[in-house]
Chain A
Amino acid sequence: MHLSILSIGPMLAFVVTIYLIFKHPTIRIPFTKKYIYIDYGFAPIIGLIVLFATFSLGINTVTRGIIGGAGVKPYSIVILIMSLSYICVSLDFTGFFEYLSLRVARFSKNSSKRLFLYFFLLTAFLSLFTDNDTVILTMTLITFYMCRNAGINPIPFLFAQFFAVNIFGMTLYIGNPTNIVAAEFYGLSFTEFAKWMILPSVVAAALCMFLIWMIFRRSIPSRFKPSPIDPSSAIKNRSGALFGSIVLGLTIVFMSLPSSLTHAPLWGIALFFALVMFLHDVVAYRSGISNISSRVPWEIVPFLIGLFIVIESLASTGWTELFGSQLSKVSWSPITSIFAVCFLSSLATGFMNNYPMTLFFVRAFQSSTFTATHTAKLGSTLALIAGSNLGANFTLIGALAGLMWAKILSDKGHPISFKEFSKYGFLIMPIVIIVTCVVLSIELMIL
């Protein structure tokens, strides 16, 4: 399919959507005194309005965007992401993650080096199965409390945590919603995903931690002034924390079992455990349930559905086929495809956010013009998963969590500019990405 004049509308809608994902402006409703806040969930809806206005939105596009096709069901991805979010939000509400952070801080005694290492490892551990926003919110605040009481500079700790979150997010299927999108499109199961991604994540994280340590080592004192910490003061609901961790653990265990044993899709398993958690919360909190539900990122539902439709319209007007044919030129072997896709996708993530980037790439992989071999396609998918996570460390707009992180730092009196963050991102990440690609290539050759 070739591009035509009709292809302009979907691209315009795509660009408007990406712009609004970052900008989230407040717009006054004409002839009233009311304002609408365009948050990231609303952004693709405006994109759909642009599609409609440019006569690019057909009923088929909408249907394919929601129901899907070729084995991929966008609605199942949305259910899976929301169910996992609910379990994590509910567990976070009990104070469990803060409790873990304080306990780890206490283990470091009064050694700053140990605190740096333990916080890096704890962030890595939490980001394996919770969403990046929850980890960043919890760990950033605890780091500020710890560093203020200890009288040490929090910036090296905060950078290490932010980078660790995005690197370890690629380890497991449930580490980042973009992993789920890419894995679902290729048909990777939970265990297959882990089989391919654990080693690259561990190597990338170890290298990244070493590089961050080399950069910041002079601003981390060897010892700090200990302050009395009582980790149990962070727990709001002890039985809820225990129940929530069991539910989260069971969700991961059941999702990692082969589907021949569970006889259920991954989204079904996640939904079941989310409902169990919800019923527990209704009984345990009663009126407090609204507090938990207000923390669930409901915006993701219109955001993803809208984005699926916008991408579908790009696909139906030839954009993804054009991109797929260009990718084929560099994907003549699994290794070239890994390097090309990983670098392209991580750079694209840094400047257009990981969600639209991942969706655009996977649709390009599905197009008939992407003529790579089966192994090269697998390599491209794995590289895309790595790129969508690692690219978020290039700039603060690579992932929505980046803007939130920058906002917390500013509110805590440590503002960081886009330029300053990118300076570290572009210094560290190209090396980390090269090593990740090398590990992925070796895996693909051996396994």
Chain B
Amino acid sequence: MYKRMLLCVTSATPKDVVETAVRLCFKETEVQVLHVVHLLNDFVRKEVSKEFSWIIDTFKKAGIKCDLEIVESTDVKNAIISFAKKNSSDAIVTGVIPRKGLLGFFSESISDYVVKNAPCTVILVRKAGQLA
């Protein structure tokens, strides 16, 4: 079990990823839900808080301490690594979308970068049957 978990989310993060993260926690685990935005202003802060309130509620219902962290950066992959290092995270949980075709071949994989550069355990969660 992990003391300090970092859950990376986007608008496409499925419920399965959040539920898996909940199952990996115990009561004392502190979860930081991280969303990286291009520009952080009052408008974006309000919209993002509204958008991810269901994730915070899911953790709170399970009795787990959880905070939404909104980070401003144009480089998502490095923002995740820096955040994990700065906050001494024990584990990074992130969803993964296996992509096929030409675009899949050329698409940058943030989860792949996180696996290779993270200072801690990385847990990749793939929704069953998901293929974009």
Contacts and interface: CB of A to CB of B under 8 A. Distances in A.
A144 B39 contact: no
Interface string B4-47: 00000011100000000000000000000000011111111011
A69 to B, nearest CB: 34
21 contacts: A22-B106, A26-B113, A35-B116, A93-B39, A98-B41, A98-B44, A141-B44, A145-B47, A234-B42, A234-B44, A294-B74, A396-B103, A397-B106, A403-B106, A410-B99, A410-B107, A412-B11, A417-B103, A418-B102, A418-B103, A419-B101
Contacts of A102: 43
A217 interface: no
A403 B107 contact: yes
A203 interface: no
Contacts, number: 84
Contacts of A109: none
**Nearest 9 Cβ contacts at the A-B interface:** A418-B103, A413-B12, A233-B42, A411-B10, A415-B132, A233-B43, A412-B11, A418-B102, A234-B43
B111 to A, nearest CB: 12
Interface in B37-80: 37-44, 46-47, 51, 72-75
Given A396-B103, A415-B99, 10 more contacts: A26-B113, A26-B116, A98-B41, A98-B43, A141-B38, A236-B39, A403-B107, A410-B12, A411-B10, A417-B101
Interface string A266-292: 000000000000000000000000010
Contact of B108 (A98, A291, A407): A407
B130 to A, nearest CB: 10
B59 to A, nearest CB: 21
A interface, over-half SS: helix
B97 interface: yes
Nearest to B77: A37
Nearest to B38: A137
Interface of A: 22-24, 26, 35, 37, 92-93, 95, 98, 102, 137-138, 141, 144-145, 148, 230, 233-236, 291, 294-295, 396-397, 403, 406-407, 410-413, 415, 417-419
Interface of B: 10-12, 37-44, 46-47, 51, 72-75, 97, 99, 101-103, 105-108, 112-113, 116-117, 132
A26 B112 contact: yes
Given A95-B39, A417-B101, A418-B102, A412 B12 contact: yes
Given A95-B41, A412-B10, A413-B11, A233 B46 contact: yes
A23 B105 CA distance: 7
A233 B41 contact: yes
Contact of A144 (B11, B99, B106): B11
A406 B43 contact: no
A295 B74 contact: yes
A277 B106 CA distance: 36
B89 to A, nearest CB: 19
Contacts of B37: 141
B39 A98 contact: yes
B113 A37 contact: yes
A410 B108 contact: no
A141 B41 CA distance: 13
Given A144-B11, A411-B12, A413-B11, A92 B39 contact: yes
Contacts of A411: 10-12
A413 B72 CA distance: 20
Contacts of B116: 26, 35
A144 B73 CA distance: 18
A163 to B, nearest CB: 18
Contacts of A291: 72
B47 to A, nearest CB: 5
B29 to A, nearest CB: 26
